[in-house]
Amino acid sequence: MEDLRSIVEALIFASEAPLSLDKIVDIIGMTDREAIVDILKALEEEYANRNGGFHLSEVAGGYQFRTRADMASWLRKLKGIKPPGLSQAALETLAVVAYRQPVTRQEIEKVRGVDVSGALRGLLEKKLLRMLGRKNVPGKPIIYGTTKRFLEVFNLKDLAELPTLREFQELQE
């Protein structure tokens, strides 16, 4: 099925966010998921072998074309940007939410030992975190969790891909 491969490729290429297998199957209107899975695998392999400027990665529960990591310095030149990066405060706040979610502001502050409202707000604006609702305890504090965008930005298939906290504890011993 030569053309099915092209359709899958075009869909992933045109999608703004990583495109999930479910969506691909849904759009193509095919029940044969296995055929699509095979195509995705073949495409991933093809781009990896070709080793061009970009390849196909599996990220945030979907597929997306991304430039090769060792091209970064050229692309920064193209975009005329300094790597935006996140502050240490933002990264620490993000780490606590990623591992402890759903989590309240108070719980994050207990771990970090500082006020985190500024960091939280920044992460909400960047859509790396979101408000999930409220915790059913006195005061009903708002609870926070990570977003799909978080997975996309940090190049994660899913949250389970993060190393466990235990691994970091062992590092310290």
- Binder of a copy of itself out of 32, 118, 127, 159 (CB under 8 A): 118
Instruction: Answer yes or no whether residue 163 interacts with a copy of itself by CB under 8 A.
Output: yes
Axis crossing angle, helix 117-125 with helix 88-100, rounded to the nearest 10: 80
Looking at residues 48 to 67 of the shown chain, list those that interact with a copy of itself (rule: CB under 8 A).
51-54, 65, 67
Instruction: Answer yes or no whether residue 10 interacts with a copy of itself by CB under 8 A.
Output: yes
With CB under 8 A as the rule, give the number of residues binding another protein. 75
Question: From CA 38, how far away is CA 122, in angstroms rounded?
Answer: 40
Instruction: Answer yes or no whether residue 155 interacts with another protein by CB under 8 A.
Output: yes
> Angle at CA 108, nearest 5°, toward 157 and 103?
60
- Binder of another protein out of 87, 106, 117, 138 (CB under 8 A): 87
Looking at residues 88 to 107 of the shown chain, list those that interact with another protein (rule: CB under 8 A).
88-89, 91-92, 94-96, 98-99, 101-102
Question: From CA 144, how far away is CA 124, in angstroms rounded?
Answer: 9
From the list 152, 162, 169, 159, the residue with the least C-alpha distance to 64 is 152
Task: Select 34 or 173, whichever has its Cβ closest to another protein.
Answer: 173
Q: Which two tokens stand for residue 170?
A: 């062992």
Task: Select 26 or 37, whichever has its Cβ closest to a copy of itself.
Answer: 26
Q: Are strands 142-146 and 129-134 parallel, antiparallel or unpaired?
A: antiparallel
From the list 137, 154, 136, the residue with the least C-alpha distance to 91 is 154
Question: In whole angstroms, how close is the CB of 34 to a copy of itself at the nearest point?
Answer: 20
From the list 55, 57, 39, the residue with the least C-alpha distance to 47 is 55
Instruction: Tell me which residues touch a copy of itself (CB under 8 A).
Output: 2, 5-16, 19, 23, 26-28, 51-54, 65, 67-68, 71, 74-75, 77-79, 81-82, 105, 117-118, 120-121, 124, 131-134, 140, 142, 155-157, 161, 163, 167, 170-173
